[in-house]
Amino acid sequence: MTIVTGLSGNEMYCLHAKGFTPGELVVGNSVHSIGFAGGIGAGIKTLTGGEVEQVTSIVHEGRQAAVERLMREAKHHGATGITGMNSELVWQGGNVEFLSIGNCIHHDGQKSAEPLFSSSADGQELFCQIDAGFTPIKFVFGNVAYSIGVGGGIMGGLKSLARGEVKEFSDVFNETRHRALWRITEEASHAGANAVVGIKTNILPLSGMQEMVMVGTASRHPEFEQLSRKQPITSDLTNEEMWNVIKMGYFPIQLVLGVSVYSLGFVGSIRSAFKSLARGEITEMSTLIYEARENAIKRVKADAELCGADDVVGVKTYVYQLSNGLIEFMAIGTAVRKMTGLTTQSEQLPPQAVIADKDTFINIADRRMATDLNRSMSTQTTGGS
């Protein structure tokens, strides 16, 4: 029988080394309407800011429906597992399509009597996970739809007259981003996992609001049982990075993040506007972004100390320009701790596990469109380092 798979040659090589053969490409989808009643409830909630629970629930249900349909299709094909699973939102007019795509894999080419596992890791990443001692269980996600709110906007507008942190915004953004982490951890715990690895975070626009979604693989690692943690460990390290960290004898404890929202202030905005007319450093902006960065990193460090970490690795920082002269600075990384005797199955990763696949189809029109879109967004959002 002819198999149609989305696995690349490098992925197939890596999976073959762990006893897997490729299976069919599988898809699950669900088209939803936000709905008139839900829109009213969400509108009322956005007056105060924070999570918009009605929208969070609708989006979660849509994502879950797409995942469940993909799983049923994979079971129909007799798969042992699914690799490279995702959860996307595709706007179709006034509705939204929740889309999930993955690739079936079979162990030694046979139908498995074991429970079907699913993973957000692609074939190369899954090799790294398994070789680092993890047994994949389930593709998991945690999401939260949120709004700054009209009330928060008014308070923020008043606060933005003065230079410094706008604590109301910092608190809202901090809480909502942590809720997504709590939810992915809770889903993994229900699946019987003691770890969520390879977590990827995305922030999406959603009908005048934003959604933060985290996806990852709920897994089990025998060495982590000694931690006696009530909740699974979490990590946003890439799977290749995690393999290296474990090879050095460190294990991930917790994904840690810190958010700080700062205002340049009315007077500072005027000064920086005048200074921008001339060549040279705009010291108001330099010191503001520096302070925001330091504040966010302090929050990361505080979270790491609470969970007993030795270090925080893989820290990434992002700066977002908000309205009314406000900026959000977010720092995110993985807290780790040294463990005696921890290592990987292989002495080193094969080249095929770290080679980045190259695109062989290039659409010039799409590339130009993406370039134009990036240019139009550059005045609103500043990418991180």
For the stretch 46-76, pLDDT in tens is 555 678 888 889 899 999 999 999 999 999 9
- Residue tagged 């970490």 (tokens): 309
Q: Supply the mean pLDDT for the chain.
A: 82
* Residue 212 pLDDT greater than 60, yes or no: yes
- CA 81, CA 102: separation in Å to the nearest integer? 10
* Residue 124 pLDDT greater than 90, yes or no: yes
- CA 232, CA 185: separation in Å to the nearest integer? 6
Model pLDDT, residue 366? 61
- CA 11, CA 22: separation in Å to the nearest integer? 9
Cβ–Cβ under 8 Å, residues 318 and 330:
yes
Q: What is the pLDDT of residues 245-255, one digit of tens each?
A: 999 999 999 99
- Residue tagged 């030795």 (tokens): 310
Banded pLDDT at 77 (limits 50, 70, 90) = very high
Banded pLDDT at 279 (limits 50, 70, 90) = low
Mean pLDDT of 117-134: 97
Q: In what order do the strands lie in the sheet with 50-51?
A: 50-51, 135-147, 209-220, 195-206, 233-234
Higher pLDDT, 221 or 286: 221
Q: What is the pLDDT of residues 154-197, one digit of tens each?
A: 444 545 445 677 777 788 778 878 899 999 999 999 999 999 99
pTM: 0.83
- CA 70, CA 101: separation in Å to the nearest integer? 7
Q: Where are the domains of the chain?
A: 9-382
